[in-house]
Structure 1
Amino acid sequence: MKRLHLALAVTAAPLLLLGCVVMSGTSKTDFAATKQADMVFIGLPAPLNWFVAGMQGTTFPVSSTLSLTAAHVAVPLLKPIKAQHPICDVAVIADNNLGKIVHQLAYARAGRNVTLFGYSAINSLPKSSRGKIDGFVKRNGCYYGIVTGAGAVSGMSGGPVIDSLTGETVGIITNVIPGEGAVVFIAVQDFTNVLDRMRIPYKTY
Structure 2
Amino acid sequence: MKCLIFALFALTAPVLLLGCVVMSGTSSTDFAATRQVDMVYIGLPAPLNWFVGGIQGSAFPVTDTLSLTAAHVAVPLLKSIRAQHPLCDVAVIARNNVGKPLHKLAFARRGRSVMLFGYSAINSLPKSSNGTIDGFLKRDGCYYGVITGAGAVSGMSGGPVIDSLTGETVGVITNVILGKGAVVFIAVQDFTNLLDRLHIPYRTY
2:8 and 2:94 map into 1 onto residues whose CA distance is 32
1:143 aligns with 2:143: yes
Which residue identity is paired with 1:183?
V
Aligned residue number for residue 36 of structure 2: 36
Which residue identity is paired with 1:146?
V
Aligned partners of 2:26 and 2:152 also within 8 Å? yes
Structure 2 vs 1, CA of residues 193 and 61 (structure 1 numbering), >3 Å: closer, same or farther?
Answer: same
Aligned residue number for residue 46 of structure 2: none
Task: State the Cα deviation string for residues 35-74 of structure 1 (Å, max 9, x = none).
Answer: 000001238679943xxxxx21000000000000000000
1:11 aligns with 2:14: no
2:28 and 2:201 map into 1 onto residues whose CA distance is 31
After the TM superposition, which residues 161-172 of structure 1 pair with which residues of structure 2 at under 5 Å, given as runs?
161-172=161-172
Aligned residue number for residue 75 of structure 1: 75
Structure 1 residues without counterparts, runs of 5 or longer: 50-54
1:21 and 1:64 map into 2 onto residues whose CA distance is 29
Secondary structure of the residue that 1:186 maps to in structure 2? strand
Percent sequence identity over matched residues?
A: 73
Secondary structure of the residue that 1:152 maps to in structure 2? coil
Task: State the Cα deviation string for residues 82-115 of structure 1 (Å, max 9, x = none).
Answer: 0000000000000000010100000000010000
Structure 2 vs 1, CA of residues 23 and 172 (structure 1 numbering), >3 Å: closer, same or farther?
Answer: same
Structure 2 vs 1, CA of residues 46 and 108 (structure 1 numbering), >3 Å: closer, same or farther?
Answer: farther
1:47 and 1:80 map into 2 onto residues whose CA distance is 18
Aligned residue number for residue 109 of structure 1: 109
Which residue identity is paired with 2:81?
I
Which residue identity is paired with 1:87?
L
Structure 2 vs 1, CA of residues 171 and 31 (structure 1 numbering), >3 Å: closer, same or farther?
Answer: same
Aligned partners of 2:56 and 2:77 also within 8 Å? no
Aligned partners of 1:103 and 1:168 also within 8 Å? yes
1:87 and 1:175 map into 2 onto residues whose CA distance is 15
Aligned residue number for residue 56 of structure 2: 56
1:200 and 1:86 map into 2 onto residues whose CA distance is 18
Task: State the Cα deviation string for residues 1-35 of structure 1 (Å, max 9, x = none).
Answer: x2222222222242331010011110000001100
Once the 2 structures are TM-superposed, how far is the Cα of residue 76 of structure 1 from its aligned partner?
2.0
Aligned partners of 1:16 and 1:89 also within 8 Å? no
Once the 2 structures are TM-superposed, how far is the Cα of residue 80 of structure 1 from its aligned partner?
1.1
Once the 2 structures are TM-superposed, how far is the Cα of residue 78 of structure 1 from its aligned partner?
3.4
Aligned residue number for residue 176 of structure 1: 176
Aligned partners of 2:42 and 2:79 also within 8 Å? no
TM-score by length of 1: 0.93
